[in-house]
Chains A and B, each alone.
Chain A
């Protein structure tokens, strides 16, 4: 039992996750986080890894439509599920209304927190299509911006809300 545990590759599984509509399959250690799977195996490096213990929100993704932290989920737990990362929201030629509003309202500086902010905002607007400033602040309270550009982020989310509703 001892030797089995010292070799951590003994417990490996094949996982298949639908990421941004594409099926991604890889054999991974059971201890591999979903964040690392998305970055290293599926190639979606828009998943940013900050604190790695659930506190900063940079690694937020949607799993089955709900915002979750991919650094405190294991890749094996996402087997058979659908994940959306920031790459799945839009692309350079066709930005999602939230992404567009972030550009227009200068809601990003270095951009490290931005994918997590966007995905938390997607989850918010699904429950609450016309949020007040307080509701936006509350929904994004678990996402830290080290550049501290919070005021513009809140403005951008509120500005995007009508376009998300009609889109």
Chain B
């Protein structure tokens, strides 16, 4: 099918783009990589009057490390982030997740900000950004505001962004010490949206002192599993203690099952999907521990 008619603008600056959004009274959509929005237009699931194309706006595509945090411009292409040397070194978890977003042709156009603003319930980046405690920076008519990932995703395809706001940057705080992480997903076909996925981030040097564990799939938004985090982060397991780690993984699996069952899961979530999410949490924890002990 073909897209419905719309008016099309190509602002060169952020302020010009924000003006266009403000002037078009709510029925304008921002066009980033177009890899979710244009399919929706072609399928006639969206009928915006105005498209504000960000592809010619200067200064929204970058990856910077300022020591305290990594800053990624919203228009950074997913493929560029996937091959970024800075990210490979400073945030391999993000690279691991990016490689599982769709296919190369999708990632060549799709943007980091677009994936977060689109907020598909099983998209990789919202899950990973929640696990990394990221902050999202939105620019709007009243200036900029910073939104924690945990407050940003409100529901399926629903975020804290106002229709007149543009997501401009994602900030990933640097860990105080070493960080070891894993992202795993399961999809029916390679490159498809996942049925379920999990991210685990462990902190600590000689022993594990903190964990963030997030599952997505059975609920409408990625959810932290605090019971699993307390278990893994609180066990104080040593980096070299393989036996204790194996026991911890088993227990994490059991805890994950209960934690996923307690999530506010959506009506379409099948028992299989919940079971899968718990298994993936266990695998993510196991893989993060293994990476830590190999390091």
Question: Would A124 and B104 be within 8 Å (CB), given that A72-B39, A141-B190 are in contact?
Answer: yes
Could you say which interface size class chain A belongs to? Answer: 35 or more
- Complex interface: chain B residues within 8 A of A142 (CB): 102-106, 191
In the complex, whether A42 has a CB less than 8 A from a CB of chain B is no
A67 and B8 contact, CB distance less than 8 A: no
A11 and B6 contact, CB distance less than 8 A: yes
- Complex interface: chain B residues within 8 A of A69 (CB): 35, 105-106, 109
A137 and B34 contact, CB distance less than 8 A: no
Could you say which interface size class chain B belongs to? Answer: 20 to 34
| Cβ 8 A contact of B7, one of A11, A138, A139 | A11
Q: How far is the CA of A78 from the CA of B9 in the complex (A)?
A: 14
| Cβ 8 A contact of A29, one of B5, B53, B79 | B5
Residue on A nearest B189 in the bound complex, by CB: A141
The segment out of A19-27, A52-60, A84-92, A103-111 that lies at the interface is A52-60
In A59-87, which residues have CB < 8 Å from any B CB? 60, 66-69, 71-74, 76-77
Q: How far is the CA of A117 from the CA of B53 in the complex (A)?
A: 29
Nearest Cβ on chain A to B50's Cβ, whole angstroms: 10
| Cβ 8 A contact of A31, one of B4, B43, B103, B105 | B4
Q: How far is the CA of A133 from the CA of B7 in the complex (A)?
A: 45
Residue on A nearest B8 in the bound complex, by CB: A30
- Complex interface: chain B residues within 8 A of A53 (CB): 1, 38-39, 42-43
In B1-58, which residues have CB < 8 Å from any A CB? 1-8, 10, 34-35, 38-39, 41-43, 49, 51, 53, 55
In the complex, whether B240 has a CB less than 8 A from a CB of chain A is no
| Cβ 8 A contact of B3, one of A5, A33, A77, A120 | A33
In B176-220, which residues have CB < 8 Å from any A CB? 189-191
In the complex, whether B270 has a CB less than 8 A from a CB of chain A is no
B3 and A11 contact, CB distance less than 8 A: no
Nearest Cβ on chain B to A142's Cβ, whole angstroms: 3
A73 and B34 contact, CB distance less than 8 A: yes
Q: How far is the CA of A46 from the CA of B42 in the complex (A)?
A: 21
Q: How far is the CA of A29 from the CA of B41 in the complex (A)?
A: 15
**Which of B38, B43, B53 has the largest number of chain A CB atoms within 10 A?**
B38
A72 and B103 contact, CB distance less than 8 A: no
In B124-171, which residues have CB < 8 Å from any A CB? none
B105 and A120 contact, CB distance less than 8 A: yes
- Complex interface: chain A residues within 8 A of B35 (CB): 54, 69, 72
B7 and A60 contact, CB distance less than 8 A: no
A54 and B7 contact, CB distance less than 8 A: no
In the complex, whether A130 has a CB less than 8 A from a CB of chain B is no
Residue on A nearest B49 in the bound complex, by CB: A5
Nearest Cβ on chain A to B113's Cβ, whole angstroms: 17
- Complex interface: chain A residues within 8 A of B53 (CB): 77
Question: Would A141 and B5 be within 8 Å (CB), given that A53-B42, A73-B34, A123-B104 are in contact?
Answer: no
In the complex, whether A8 has a CB less than 8 A from a CB of chain B is yes
| Cβ 8 A contact of B103, one of A29, A30, A141 | A141
Residue on A nearest B3 in the bound complex, by CB: A31
A52 and B190 contact, CB distance less than 8 A: no
B8 and A52 contact, CB distance less than 8 A: no
A73 and B109 contact, CB distance less than 8 A: yes
B191 and A141 contact, CB distance less than 8 A: yes
- Complex interface: chain A residues within 8 A of B103 (CB): 57, 141-143
| Cβ 8 A contact of B8, one of A1, A76, A143 | A76
Q: Given A33-B42, A72-B38, 7 other A-B contacts at CB below 8 A?
A: A11-B6, A31-B5, A54-B106, A67-B108, A69-B109, A76-B8, A143-B103
User: Would you list 25 pairs from A and B whose C-beta atoms are within 8 A, ordered by A residue?
Assistant: A5-B7, A5-B49, A6-B5, A10-B7, A11-B7, A13-B8, A31-B2, A31-B3, A31-B4, A31-B8, A36-B2, A53-B38, A54-B106, A57-B103, A68-B105, A68-B109, A69-B106, A72-B39, A73-B38, A77-B34, A123-B105, A124-B104, A141-B189, A142-B105, A142-B191
The 5 A-B pairs of least Cβ separation, nearest first, read A142-B103, A8-B5, A72-B38, A53-B39, A30-B8
